[in-house]
Amino acid sequence: MWDQVQDDFSRTPSQADVAKYMMEVGIRQEGNKLFFDKISISHSQVGEALGKDKRVVTATVNTIRKSKRLYSIFSKLQPTCNLINMARDMG
């Protein structure tokens, strides 16, 4: 999926990092707000998780919001459960 949107962020590598992280963990965008499932998360929280300023996250959100194609993708993301780290413990 990332290969379909990475060109949109080719001139802004910091925004690319944020957008890729959003896709990897399933952070959904609704307007200017970000959600992990039903939980609202701040731009500051995302920035802190990536070691980036919240203004980079806000700029990424604005880039996504201004593009119908990007917004149609990022507004439908959902988190998924990844059991890879505990597979050995489960047998």
pTM of the model: 0.90
Q: Cα(24)–Cα(41) distance, rounded to whole angstroms?
A: 16
The pLDDT, as a whole number, for residue 3 is 83
| Tens-place pLDDT, residues 33-68 | 999 999 999 999 999 999 999 999 999 999 999 999
In this predicted model, which residue has the larger pLDDT, 41 or 81? Answer: 41
Yes or no: say if 17 and 46 are a contact pair by the CB < 8 Å rule.
Answer: no
Q: Cα(57)–Cα(15) distance, rounded to whole angstroms?
A: 7
pLDDT exceeds 80 at position 9: yes
What mean pLDDT comes out for the span 61-76? 97
Q: What angle do CA 69, 72, 78 make, to 5 degrees?
A: 135
The pLDDT, as a whole number, for residue 83 is 82
